Amino acid sequence: MFSLMRGSIPDAGNDPLDAITKAAALGAGEITFYSLFELSPTLDPTVLRELKAEADNLGIAIAASLDWLNPLRLDRHARELQLGDGDLARGVRRLLETGASLGMREMFFTIGTLEDRAGNWRAQIDALAALLMGLKPALADFGMRALVKTHEEITSWECLELVERVGPDALGVSYDPANMLVRLEEPLAAARRLAPYVTQVHIDDATLSFEGDTALRRHLAPVGQGIIDWPSLLALLPTAKPLIELHRGQFAIPAFDQALLADQPYIRLEEYAALVQSAVRLGNRPPTDQNDITLRLPAALELVAG
């Protein structure tokens, strides 16, 4: 069984039932929305029950992420604060409770952006760890676990630290290997570090090419045409649920900036060398059309179906 992100479904608009129907037609056993608020802006219980009933009839489960989760970026949490009467933890607890009522047992979240990492990043991680620790009783009550997503701003080492601080009973990892390239981590090596805690793996691929004398650029590619060794990665994570999420971000990575490298002690020489070598091998091959995600969908579907 695989899951399909709402934004990776061709021609899926803002109607959740339409997206659910299209995901089922593509063979998905689950559709993942970016937020529960996509299902109902007010989390109307009647609307949610009706959508679940329709999904059940189609033989597909409904999942959703927690979207952002960062106590030091409250500007992104207006809806959660409203749910919690001004208290972020209370608002997130309401989201977990709603997710559980729809049959969800895990909900992943994203901490921030590359710009956040350039700020008070350590304080953000500490604040998040404290928030998650406070939510442990609620997660236990609902039979749920939160999952930290390996987004472009966070390293595998920081994800590992968060899981160890909070506890794997409450926090796991939603592993997105294409994002590890932005942190100059080799995806298979990072997967080995996180493997005991990974319960979900995002399906997409990417290549790296040189950009001038100072950077590498991530180009998105169909599965099997990029850097990621998918057979080895899936063998390493045999119980992780595949989630097709076709990315859109095309990041320039200052891979040859000496100051940046000096500030990234987690980078491993052998992983760094493998990524640079992949850019050498790519040469001048033009990238796949980055604006048309449908070009990458068939290969992703073939991988999860196989």
pLDDT value at position 212?
Answer: 87
Q: Which residues contact 142 (CB under 8 A, 6 or more apart)?
A: 96, 97, 99, 100
Q: Which residues contact 122 (CB under 8 A, 6 or more apart)?
A: none
Residue at token pair 């997710």: 99
First to last CA, the chain: 11
pLDDT value at position 279?
Answer: 95
Question: Distance between alpha carbon 70 and the CA centroid of its chain, in Å?
Answer: 15
pLDDT value at position 263?
Answer: 84
pLDDT value at position 302?
Answer: 97
The number of residues making up the chain comes to: 306
What are the residue ranges in the chain where pLDDT is below 70?
none
Residue at token pair 């993942």: 32
CA distance to 106, 286, 294, per residue, from 225 (Å): 30, 12, 15
- Residue 53: which H helix or E strand, with range? helix 45-58
Give the whole-angstrom CA distance, residue 300 versus residue 224: 9
Give the whole-angstrom CA distance, residue 306 versus residue 48: 32
Residue at token pair 């992943």: 108
pLDDT value at position 166?
Answer: 98
CATH of the structural domain 3-205+223-249+293-305, one choice from 3.40.50.300, 2.60.40.10, 3.30.1180.20, 3.20.20.150: 3.20.20.150
pLDDT value at position 249?
Answer: 85
